[in-house]
Structure 1
Amino acid sequence: MGLRKLATNSARLLRGTALSALLNVIAVTLAAKSLDTASFGAYALLTGYATFVSNLADPITWQALIKFGSDVSRDIGKHAEYVRLSIFLDVAAMLLASAAILTIGPWAFDIFGISHEYLHVLWMLAVLTLFRAQGTLIGLLRLNDNFAALSWHRPIASVVLLFEFGALSVGRHPVEQYVLAFVVSEITAAVYIAAAAYRHFPHLSSTKWLSPRIGLSREELGAFGRFLLLTKGTATLNVLPISADILVVGSVLGEVGAGLYRVVRLFAQVPAIIQAPIYQAIYPQIAALIAKDDVRAVRRLAALTSLGVSSIYLLYLLAFMVLGKTIVTSFYGETYVALWSTAVVLLAGFVVAGLALPLSPIALSVGRPDILLRTSLVSVGLYFGLAVVLMKSLGLVGIGFANIIFYVVHACLLLFQVRSLVLKS
């Protein structure tokens, strides 16, 4: 039953993310063709800056909500209090992030190689960040198996973005209009998630959610807070190589380098398309099996997921090695064909990431997020140090080699610790 549910939920999310990725590839290709490399790099850095700050501030409440919501699923009142606490944290975090985008903007532009002529764009990015307080709403939909609604979240943003970029591709338009198009597409997706959550949980509109009092004991608040801090620290460290890499490239290689790397990421996003929905679907399943003390089922589910995902990544890597140069030349021209080697090296790291995919949900489900935090501190610190050093000596391909080392170190450290937990169980 667990495998069937995992397959169903993963397939729903995979269809949505695959459609979203396809539309994004078309949209970004239109932008890359319409803008020169430096302007395209500026667009990538501006949107990357907003994504980085919001990811840094996001408390990742959905993971804690799944953990504690599963434990009190039959206690409606207690469940509602956890939801209310999560909503408060989401809103407060995004308000702080929006203020941070405006206040540290000039300083951040200097560090990440963004021209100050785009400082007036900061207000758009700040407004966008306010709409990213969605963690609790997404967590509720995941916890209650409403993956059908979630599967349309990213495609809606991509459809809007493609329509807007298609209109902008006619004639010459400034970078600011492309940033505005991105902001509008993300806000549209946020409104959809809010509507979907309200449809399934209409009590969210009750005025009691505005009360500052949270009906949880000090022990319950402490347990929730500790879990949230540990998972937030881990998630932030894990997302940094994805959300901050474009900024690191900009700081070392400038706007042109960032523009080139943004195209590389188009091809590297295919593993993320596969990984994200499977992770989101497998975590609730593993949590439920751990709650039943069914260790054998956990091992079986983890092994099948690990082998399946890494095999898909390997096939994609081999296909890109054969067809990649032709695809890059056909869609982007000779200017970008040199990026093939960087993309190949980057994709090799994802094969290792696929093998380690089930380890994080296991650690979270047994209440040991500290394992993930320690592992991420070591591997992410190593990644950014190597990325800067290798890019200065090897150019853009250096970040690809840093990516491989990151995933190997991360997987080995995680496997050693999680294996001990499972053996003890």
Structure 2
Amino acid sequence: MLAQRTTLFNSLDAPAVSKADQLRATGEEIIDLSVEEICSDLSPVVRDGAIAAIDHNLNRYTGTIGVRKLRHALARKVSAETAQPWSEDEIAVTNGARHALLNVAMSILNPGDEVLIPAPHWTTFPTQVALAGGRPILLETRHNNYVPQLTDLATAITSKTKAIVVNTPNNPTGAVYDRDTLADIAQLAIERDLWIIFDESYKAFTYAPHAHQPIVSVAPQARDRTLIVNSFSSSLALSGWRIGYLAGPKTVISAVKALQSIMTTNVNIIAQHALLYYLERGDLYFQMQLERQVATARALGLSILSNLALVPRPPAEGGIYFYLDLTELRRKANAKGREIDADDVANTLLMKARVSAASGTVFGDPAGIRLSYGIDLAQLSEGLRRLTEILNTWS
């Protein structure tokens, strides 16, 4: 069992990322386009909230699933965003979205339960399902611009299906699900009595004409079967603070409370009070500045990537990632007798361009590469120019 779990965890590490760490250890300068965070200063309001908490000598345990006032503030936030009433008893504060998702898997899944996961997918979705004894069922979405088709979802449902993962804006692809797609998924979940695991961690970043739609706003009738996962890692550039939340029915939150009490107990008290301070006061200037920074990086990146010869323009409809479809590049290489996959491309980019990219193999896709545009603009520009030159040489 230990060997199986070790293999499961190791499968999350892309070979090129491991090699990048080795190169850095020797002093090599690597441009890292594989990161899952935004390079930004801290919000002054969040900082002031943390300092105020320290000045008040806050150092004790809080409630297992969060300070009650914070859960109340988060319930108000979710209520405003979804146009549905939520109470503090339907909110659990977690150590980021990853923790919230593991809580969900451990709380709702029984051994053998199946979970439908559109692919390419964020790395930990299938792993957490497997850890809970469930079976991840991956559904290819490339043929539909990285958005699952209702017919594919319906066909994949069996008597063992327990939940559908809906991740929009999507990591890694950047796809944003439209209103009709969300309505169809919600109706399917209702008809087949399924949970909806709705991960909206990148909702702060969407680009016209696309817009983020909370699924319970689109389909209020699905509210009692929807588990909303979010964090402040991207929206406030607080990745290292590890704070997020889960919103869902009281029965699930009660199960999460029992689970969290024996795993992690409460989230760091300073982070909780800093977030509460922010939610009570807001920081519109910081939010606008962060959104402008990410939008500028996206525009710059798309301009450079438009020079790629055999790789189509990445969706980049939302989130902080470009996802490159290498299908045509692979076809050309195969026609010349050379079989390649995303790992080969990522390794070549690292060794020849000193650019670290996330191989699609960790997202269940051997024909994709994910690039982050949350990094410093100068580094982004140089990294993408090097990448474009290498890929065009291959063509």
TM-score, normalised relative to structure 2: 0.26
TM-score, normalised relative to structure 1: 0.24
Q: Which has the higher helix share?
A: 1
Higher relative contact order (Cα pairs below 8 Å, separated by 6+ residues): 2
